[in-house]
Amino acid sequence: MTMTPSWLYYLCAVLMLAAAAYCLISLIVKAATHRGSGWDIDIAHTFMGVSMAGMSVAQWAFGARVMWEIIFAVLLTWFLARTLQSVRHHGVHLSHFLVHAAMSLAMLLMFRFPVRVRGGSPTGSMSLSSAASRLDPGLAFVLVLIFFASAILTLDSSARGASHHTPRGSTSAMSASGRPGSAPIQSERRFGRAGGVRGLADAPRLEDASHVLLCILMGFLLIVMI
């Protein structure tokens, strides 16, 4: 018999909600300051954090399954379109939007092929068993590898003083390009001239941290579902 520690799922759920809360704050600040960059990623992260928290702790779940499926199908389409847009502008490359498309696909699959919570314990101690139609473990494993690689690359970018979310600015790359005109944009983004909540929402490292967190937790859930 597998004994699942409920604290582990609570911990995951709390971390997911923390990431979702940060992205929601960031989204609100961007809307208030009329900044258009990265809002789609914030929306996606918010939905992902909230819905995965519901997967980890049964009683924190809300909304119909079909609602989440529609949301993540729309997000998947959106990020695929943004990937194509990026390829059209910059030539063939691995756009960061592709990772967000993969994350949306994973969420869609997790709702499409749910695992049954045996006993339905309200504590969140989930003994997961496969549903009749099961998510292909091979596909799940490929997605896990993509998310973990993305988490590590994002951490690496962050450690080098750049945000992996390239559309929001990339310190190293811009400095490497030697264009003095780009420097003020970055330093404003990197260090955040505005303090308080706005400064918090402007912090690239927090953006990266929320992405890393969601990648790892999504990978964990996929492994548990395998």
Q: With respect to another protein, which residue has the nearer C-beta, 203 or 224?
A: 224
Q: With respect to another protein, which residue has the nearer C-beta, 174 or 203?
A: 174
Contact, 190 vs 204, CB < 8 A? yes
Q: Which of 1, 3, 13 is nearest to 220 (CA)?
A: 13
Question: Which residues in this chain contact another protein in the complex, by CB under 8 A?
Answer: 1-5, 8, 34-37, 39-40, 81-82, 85-86, 89-91, 93, 95, 126-128, 136-138, 141, 144-145, 148-149, 151-153, 155-156, 159-162, 166-177, 179, 181-182, 185-186, 190, 216, 219-220, 223-224, 226
Q: With respect to another protein, which residue has the nearer C-beta, 18 or 173?
A: 173
Q: Which residues contact residue 157 at a Cβ distance below 8 angstroms, ignoring those fewer than 6 apart?
A: 163, 164, 170, 172, 208
Rounded distance between C-alpha atoms, residue 104 and residue 47, angstroms: 10
Contact, 45 vs 214, CB < 8 A? yes
Largest CA distance in the chain: 62
The helix (run of H) or strand (run of E) holding residue 217 is: helix 204-225
Minimum Å gap between C-beta 170 and another protein is 4
Q: With respect to another protein, which residue has the nearer C-beta, 12 or 23?
A: 12
Rounded distance between C-alpha atoms, residue 145 and residue 225, angstroms: 15
Minimum Å gap between C-beta 22 and another protein is 19
Q: With respect to another protein, which residue has the nearer C-beta, 91 or 120?
A: 91
Minimum Å gap between C-beta 119 and another protein is 14
Minimum Å gap between C-beta 204 and another protein is 11
Minimum Å gap between C-beta 191 and another protein is 10
Rounded distance between C-alpha atoms, residue 16 and residue 206, angstroms: 14
Provide the token pair at 21.
Answer: 């809360």
